[in-house]
Amino acid sequence: MFVQDLIYQGQADKVAIDGELKITYRDLQISVEEYRNYLYSIGIRRGDNVGVLSKNSAYYIYAYMAIVSLGAVVVPINFQLTAREIAYIVQDAEMKFFISDVEVEIKEELEFYQYKFPVKKMLLTDIEVKAKIKGKYVPAPSLPESFTEDEVCVIIYTSGTTGNPKGAMLTHKNQVSNARMFKQAIGINENDNVLCVLPMYHCFAWTCAVLNPLYSKARITILDAFNPKETVVAIQKFDVNLIYAVPAICNILTRTAPTEALANVHTFIVGGTSLPIKIATDFAKKFNLTILEGYGLSEASPVVAVNTKNKYRLGSIGCPLPDIEVKIIDANGKGVSRGEVGELIVRGDNVMKGYYHLPEATKAALKPDGWLHTGDIAYQDEDGFIFIVDRLKDMLISSGENVYPREIEEVLYTYDGVMEAAVVGREDKLRGQAVVAYIVPADGVVIDKKEVKDYLQRNLAIYKVPREIHIVDHFPKSQTGKILKRLLS
């Protein structure tokens, strides 16, 4: 099965995309075919890399499905990126076409940075108008039999926390298999209405909140951004019952939404970054709804593991999805016993083909036997639940001891008045690295740094206690709510 085949899963007259304007599966199929014919008429062909910079909308789905149905490759772009960052992706991905939903002079802005922009730029709104002109475009030919599920359909650029972002190449098999695995794990069905509020350019949102419901013949309610009040209104108005979110959204809903806001929601799944236990317990207490934490990475399409209603453990990322293998290994590549900490590695049909034009980076992350090295430190308990300790690159070594920032952050979240916390390291001549904590207080709360330090000393070994504590108004974050620790100083 190919990604574009998912739009044919649901009954033709059933709603596929919910909202003020309801779009049936037949409407979706017709629009994708119209887009397909138009994009073929302007020259998009098999193997072409096509950039898509857009906020969430039905048009995004039309364009994505039309592009991959031509055998071309979608390159989703984060609309928060600067012109310089966009230029890097345009050139690195060797794009031939660039589709945007906003009337901005990206080309001129990029030329200010002395970057070439050798691609054809189009607006989604223009495509929508032109594609709807009946009888003007010759139907695009079907893909040849030589085109297989192992062909790349999307290049997802990673966040670039260590240098320039890398383009993870995902195939049709990668994306469809992950949608299937996830459906089997969480039990989504055609009666569900899934909220898509996370940005579609992000692999988590695309696979879980778009491909997964399409695979399951369900409905999708699309919001172009998260706004607490508007999100709650949409959830209640359109009978949304399944939500994918990030911890930041959970935190905001707990603090701002009425208790009955999620009364009709039966499944609330969180990923994108680690979920502090305090946020999970506060949310469950207020809404009488358990957050099911999951885990993934772009290179795995992205979902690797998730808690379910029938198999749940607080603080864990759940158990592996069906047909995904996981292993915890030591520094020498040997498997460790249950309960022992090591690097999490993953294998399955969901694992990427490699990084675009980066053979050495591919070789470092993806081994010949199919194991993907995640760079996450974890352990697995006797029942198979996986617990993420921290990112391998985030681990600090202070006075010769391994220090895991996430452990300190979990304790900080239990201190009264802390809304958000982040722990990083800074170079220290005496200790190698010194532990530094940043705290965002809850509204109207004044936090005493000395009292926080005393609290940490009562709950942590002395070498884990931060040398410095900083109180800040907010954290720099990605569009999916992940704290950008590299920007903390």
| pLDDT tens by residue, 39-76 | 999 999 999 999 999 999 999 999 999 999 999 999 99
- Amino acid letter, 4: Q
CA 262 to chain centre: 22
Query: In whole angstroms, what is the distance from residue 226 CA to residue 87 CA?
Result: 27
Instruction: Give 383-418 as a 3 state SS string.
Output: CCCEEEEEECCCCEEECCEEECHHHHHHHHHCCCCE
Question: What is the pLDDT at residue 116?
Answer: 55
Question: What is the pLDDT at residue 415?
Answer: 97
The token pair at 308 is 């379910």
| Residues near 276 by beta carbon (within 8 Å), at least 6 away in sequence | 247, 409, 410, 413, 421
Which helix (H) or strand (E) is 421 found in, with range?
strand 418-428
Question: What is the pLDDT at residue 123?
Answer: 82
Q: Which class is domain 396-487? A: alpha beta
Question: What is the pLDDT at residue 239?
Answer: 98
Query: In whole angstroms, what is the distance from residue 170 CA to residue 183 CA?
Result: 19
The token pair at 124 is 């989604």
Inter-CA distances, 32 with 179, 258, 284, Å: 20, 39, 40
On whether the CB atoms of residues 74 and 154 are closer than 8 A, the answer is: yes
| pLDDT tens by residue, 290-312 | 999 999 999 999 999 999 999 99
Tell me which fold the domain 177-391 belongs to: Rossmann fold (3.40.50)
How many other C-beta atoms can be found within 10 angstroms of the C-beta atom of residue 346?
24
Residue 231: φ, ψ to 5°: -65, -45
416's torsion region: left (phi>0), alpha (psi -120 to 50) or beta?
A: beta
Give domain limits for the chain: 3-14+23-147, 177-391, 396-487
Tell me which fold the domain 3-14+23-147 belongs to: Rossmann fold (3.40.50)
Q: Which segments of the chain have a pLDDT < 50? A: 112-114
Query: Scanning the structure block, which residue is given the tokens 């037949």?
Result: 26
Domains 3-14+23-147 and 396-487 share a fold: no
Residue 403, helix vs strand vs coil: strand
Whole-structure pTM value: 0.91
